[in-house]
Amino acid sequence: MSAAPEERLITTIARLIRDPAAPPAHHVAVGAASAIPAAACYLLQMSGHKLRLSLIARQHGNPFTDGGRELFDLAGQGRIDLFFLGGGQIDGQANINMIGIGEWPGRGVRFPGSFGSAFMYFATPRTILFREEHSRRVLVPRVDYISAPGLSPPGVFRRGHAQALVTGKCVFSFSPAAGRFALASLHAGETIASVRDATGFDYDCPAAVPATPEPTADELALLRGPVCATMLETYPEFCRRVWNRTATERAA
């Protein structure tokens, strides 16, 4: 049973959420444009793992009645263990840029905007950075503008840092002590050289890098069945593109 690239990323993120070396993640929050992280959380739930998922984009069954304000309140109280962030640019110190590039305020190219990313980066013990595109225009030596910093000076309160960066080519782990990423695994078809060539920032690389584990048959069955059925309402375009399912089928 061959896996789609998105399915590989979903199972990769699911394994990172359950990483025994990281602080436990009992409550995970997912933003509005994060179909792949949301699928990873649903996969864990449907595999029997206890995980509370707060999905702010969902229209029904959403615990939030006041949108992002309640998400930020929960995070500020220390009641969210893990969040996901991306960026138009990400650099080697895990800084993210969601503002844009060019003369301030990003007049060359405008990104979606920060919308609380800095607060969530500081307030949650774990953050998984995620960006499907792996290129030198995204993974840069230094972001043009810092929407949310990957590191903070001594004495600045923050609960956590980036755990990892997942891209369409690989997984990087992040060390706050070193302030650097390290290549942790290679997705199918990638090599140490192909990742190095596509990455604009410097990072640590062991002599031997393992392959990212492929999805199991059971995981694929869950993704293509109950996970997709659950996601159709919130992420219809993603379900249509990846699994060729539509909301009409769900209603039937």
Angle between helices 5-17 and 236-243 (to 10 degrees): 120
Supply the range of the domain harboring residue 20. 5-246
Q: How many domains does the chain have?
A: 1
User: In the sheet where 89-91 sits, what is the strand order?
Assistant: 96-97, 89-91, 139-140
Q: How far apart are CA 238 and CA 232, in angstroms?
A: 8
For residue 65, pLDDT over 70 is answered with no
Minimum mean pLDDT range among 105-114, 173-182, 221-230: 105-114
**pLDDT for 102:** 86
Q: What pTM was estimated for this model as a whole?
A: 0.93
In a domain, 143, yes or no: yes
Q: What number is the average pLDDT over the span 56-71?
A: 66
Question: Contact 121/127 with Cβ under 8 angstroms?
Answer: yes
Q: What is the CATH number of the domain that holds 118?
A: 3.40.1080.10
Give the pLDDT score at 108.
84
CA-based R_g, the chain, Å? 18
Residue 252 lies in a domain: no
Whether residue 220 lies inside any domain: the answer is yes
Confidence band of 195 (pLDDT split at 50, 70, 90)? very high
Asked whether the beta carbons of 155 and 180 are under 8 A apart, the reply is no
